[in-house]
Amino acid sequence: MPATATDPTQEMLRRAEELANDLELQAVRRWKEHNPDGLAIGYLPIYAPRPLLEALNCLPVAVFGGGDQLDIIRGDSYFQSYICHIPRSVIELGLTGRLDVLDGMIFPSICDVIRNLGGMWKLLFPDRYAAYLDLPQNFDPAVGGRFYASELRRIAVDLEERGARPLSSERLAQAIDEENIRRAVLEQLAELRRHEPWRLKASEAYLLVRAGSALTAVEHTRLLRDFLDAAHERPVRPLDNVRVLVQGSFCEQPPLGLIRSLEIAGCDIVEDDLQLGMHMIEGPVEIRAGEDGIDALARAFLEQGVDTASRYIADDTKGRSLIERARACRVDGVVFSAASFCDPALLDQPMQEKALERAGIPYTSFKFSENTGQFHVIREQAGAFSDAVKLWGAQAP
């Protein structure tokens, strides 16, 4: 997208990129200056109940590791070589003081690596608050729902004991409402990309979503709305690209250069599972009669949580929701892009590939690490895939 003096979206994207690359957490430091009584709480992928934290006057901060901007000097020595990259860079961020501004960390139970990282964090930083958030894998409200609500209450009490604002049902309801509005605006952003991918590229949408990692729901919503208002006036030219869905990048994030390489290779990424935590709950969270806000958050996780590799799906067919999303977004093909050694993503992938084969949807796959620096091979592979899809459609490999 060429920058023009009359295109205000360029300045918004510049600000979003600055926020997305904010490894020093300057935005968090500013928030704490304005909220001296507030706490900043980091959380690892995929998902944490952001409205609960906001209701406690805690700023939820999504921690995605160091990406391709951080040299790992000491982090490597804490983990074996045959696991993904994100735990090393999180430890590196911690050891270099970049996460000192955080008053606590939440480690959701998405895989063994995050569990081990949580343990390592507690050993290294015993004085800081660290919570392991056990997400339910039983979706009976009387079992998993009750359990998850008690987990959320435990974390709320822990944070109150460390100085967070006491939880009130009014403020929690308000925070849930604010998150619902953000979620609706994020859906508008996704819609724009699905309908006019040349008006909003995936790499740009990625930055706009990532910018919200350390913003309150209200601030993030304002940024997104400003962008959406201006996006309709952008000088754009439709491109003859193939429409693809990127799958498998729900936790460790690929470098932005990789997403841009797919675009350069002729792929319009119209759907993905990048930064899945922001989209983990489908639709608004509603507080029903007889529930409090925590009950509603727990129920929403059970009933409205999206399908992902780290979520147990009982008797459902692996790949069913992927096919549904692919069809709903009218994609020409699927690109599996998983972090190297990501067990949840790579264990699911063969079953998802089988489902795509049954549905006649072409796919290709590669692996990345957050600090991958060479995209030439991936660009060539994606270019060959997009050419094949254009030429042969569902016949393509």
CB nearer ligand SF4, residue 20 or residue 110: 110
Indicate the length of the chain as a whole number.
397
d(CA 42, CA 103): 8
- Closest approach, Cβ 195 to ligand SF4, in A, equals 31
Q: Decide whether 113 or 120 has the Cβ nearer to ligand SF4.
A: 113
Site residues, ligand SF4 (CB under 6 A): 84, 86, 110-111, 113-114, 251-252, 339, 342-345
Strand order across the 333-339 sheet: 267-272, 242-247, 333-339, 363-368
Kindly state the smallest distance separating residue 348's Cβ from ligand SF4, in Å. 11
Least distance in angstroms from the C-beta of 186 to ligand SF4: 22
- Asked if residues 42 and 159 have their Cβ atoms less than 8 Å apart, the reply is no
Q: Which is nearer to ligand SF4, 112 or 316 (CB)?
A: 112
User: CA nearest 204: which of 149, 283, 269?
Assistant: 269
Which residues, 6+ apart, have CB-to-CB distance to 142 below 8 Å? Answer: none
Which of 9, 253 has the CB closer to ligand SF4?
A: 253
Report yes or no: 271 and 202 within 8 Å, Cβ to Cβ.
Answer: no
Our CB check for ligand SF4 shows the closer of 231 and 345 to be 345
Chain Cα centroid distance, residue 178: 18
Which uninterrupted H or E stretch holds 390? helix 376-392
- The residue written with tokens 């921690």 in the block is 63
Minimum distance from residue 229 beta carbon to ligand SF4 (Å):
35
Q: Closest separation between CB of residue 91 and ligand SF4, Å?
A: 12
Who contacts 328 (Cβ-Cβ below 8 Å, separation ≥6)?
A: none
**What SS3 state is found at 145?**
helix
Nearer to ligand SF4, 156 or 258 (CB): 258
Shortest separation between residue 105's beta carbon and ligand SF4, angstroms: 14
